[in-house]
Amino acid sequence: MKNSLSRTAKLLRQNFQKYLRSLNRWFLDTPERALLEAYQAAQRIKNIETEHFDSKKISSQSVKYTENVMSYWQVYLNKNLTIIKIRLAEFQLSRGIINISNPVLLEKLKVIDEVVEKYAIKYETIDELSLSSTYQPLNINEKEIKKKLKIPNIDEIKVKPPIQKTGAAPSSIGRRINKIQADFAPQTEEEFVRNYRISKGRTIIALRFLIVLIIVPLLTQYLSKELIVTPILERVRGDNTTKIFINSDMEKEALHELHNFQEALRFEYFINQAPPISSELTQEKIKSKAIEISEEFSKKSNSSISNVFADLISLFSFGIVIAMSKREIVILKSFMDTIVSGLSDSAKAFFIILFTDIFVGFHSPDGWEVLLAGFAEHLGLPADRNLIFFFIATFPVILNTIFKYWIFRYLSRLSPSALATLKEMDE
């Protein structure tokens, strides 16, 4: 028995050492591998330029293509540029840890720099110019305006009303006629279609980015846990029966389950629904159940420890997505502002009361308690009741104070009617 255990331990040690060596080789090859993938992406962009854009930049100004064709090439371009950015960041990070010197790498870096410099300023999609112009803030320097116009005080400018003539027709009718004329102007339809395309493209980008923000962390957490963290943890811990439970709550739960099993055996015996069994057979059943419970809680402990590392990896991937998506963040913020501003005052007041009652309302302590207990179980931490109650007694109060200050400071200026509706609904 001891020889078999020693052979098994030796085999596990050899497999773990082999895995560490392969992992070390993979880590040492990271700079060259990352640079190779970035170089291949740059070569794909250069091939497209040569074959379809007369060796010019991939743009609607280089070659006249239809909108659908340009949209296809733009998606292909953005995909390869994203690969270049990610792999270059990986190359720089790994190169700071691993010292390498290879003249071939310099040639690849030159090719990559040519592509990056060409597309570093901005990407020209079909409606990119009009789309990006929507989000560029207009900086007005009042002193420069005064200097150029040679006016001592800009407040002294008297703007004449648009309609100075008085006649039989009121000014409102004139404005209505001008609006009708503008609606029938030849360029009105083109302007409407252009604005519609800009709004459609902005909505698609915002929704796609919102989906990415949700899917990428969840998928990263699941894949890293199942493929990386859990296998390494199982090899490190092995079949160590002395470290089944990682906190006292798990141990109490396992003992409670075993105690319930013993009581069930006694109950079956006393009500004569089961034949009398010997004490040896009873002990064998209890031992088998204890082994089953230990295996179950050993897997649960491994899963809790794996969740900690997988969550950190998921948080890191979320930070990378945020850091590389500044343009998408601006578009998403504008999209959310449009949705919020489109709500009626009653709808705004309804959602404000709904969220405040959920997080800082009368029934919110029960929700916070369930949420914190589930989070502690997810990370394998003991659910300390005193700590949970202390959090519930402080954090919702702070959150409520911040929210009331926001209502007093900003909502009264952004939407006074929504504030009045909110006060009436609260009363």
308-331 mean pLDDT? 90
158-169 mean pLDDT? 45
pLDDT at 138 over 70: no
Q: What is the pLDDT of residue 155?
A: 43
Could you give the percent of the chain with pLDDT greater than 70? Answer: 71
Q: Is residue 417 situated within a structural domain?
A: yes
pLDDT band at 146 (very low <50, low <70, confident <90, very high): very low
Same-domain pairing of 15 and 115: yes
Q: Is residue 138 situated within a structural domain?
A: no
Q: Is residue 245 situated within a structural domain?
A: yes
Hey, what's the torsion of the CAs at 213, 217, 220, 222, to 10 degrees? -130
CA–CA separation, 308 and 13 (whole Å):
25
Q: Using the 3D structure, point to which of 340, 374, 389 is the last residue of a domain.
A: 340
Same-domain pairing of 407 and 336: no
CA–CA separation, 78 and 119 (whole Å):
10
Same-domain pairing of 279 and 386: no
44-59 mean pLDDT? 82
Chain center to CA of 345: 30
List the one residue out of 197, 199, 232, 171 whose CA is nearest residue 334.
199
Q: Using the 3D structure, point to which of 129, 147, 178 is the last residue of a domain.
A: 129
Number of domains in the chain: 3
The residue that leads in pLDDT, 265 or 26, is 265
pLDDT band at 273 (very low <50, low <70, confident <90, very high): low
CA–CA separation, 370 and 388 (whole Å):
10
CB 306 within 8 A of CB 313: no
Any idea which of 155-159, 190-194, 250-254, 340-344 has the lowest mean pLDDT? 155-159
Range(s) of the domain holding residue 334: 189-340
Same-domain pairing of 336 and 193: yes
Residue 250 to residues 10, 174, 261, 293, 383: CA-CA distances in angstroms?
Answer: 31, 79, 17, 11, 10
Q: Is residue 184 situated within a structural domain?
A: no
Q: Is residue 385 situated within a structural domain?
A: yes
Any idea which of 127-136, 225-234, 332-341 has the lowest mean pLDDT? 127-136
Same-domain pairing of 312 and 371: no
Residue 390 to residues 3, 384, 396: CA-CA distances in angstroms?
Answer: 53, 10, 11
Same-domain pairing of 206 and 329: yes
Model pLDDT for residues 192-228, shown as the tens digit of each residue: 777 778 888 888 888 999 999 999 999 999 999 888 8
Same-domain pairing of 375 and 260: no
Q: Is residue 195 situated within a structural domain?
A: yes
Per-position DSSP letters for 196-219, written without gaps between them: HHHHHHHHHHHHHHHHHHHHHHHH
Same-domain pairing of 211 and 334: yes
Model pLDDT for residues 103-135, shown as the tens digit of each residue: 667 777 888 888 888 786 443 333 443 334 444
Same-domain pairing of 349 and 333: no
Q: Is residue 350 situated within a structural domain?
A: yes
Same-domain pairing of 7 and 97: yes
Model pLDDT for residues 57-110, shown as the tens digit of each residue: 887 777 777 777 777 778 888 888 888 888 787 777 776 666 566 666 777 788
Same-domain pairing of 412 and 281: no
Same-domain pairing of 211 and 333: yes
Q: Which two tokens stand for residue 327?
A: 């343009």
Q: Using the 3D structure, point to which of 283, 310, 340 is the last residue of a domain.
A: 340
CB 274 within 8 A of CB 58: no
Q: Is residue 116 situated within a structural domain?
A: yes
Q: What is the pLDDT of residue 366?
A: 84
CB 238 within 8 A of CB 298: no
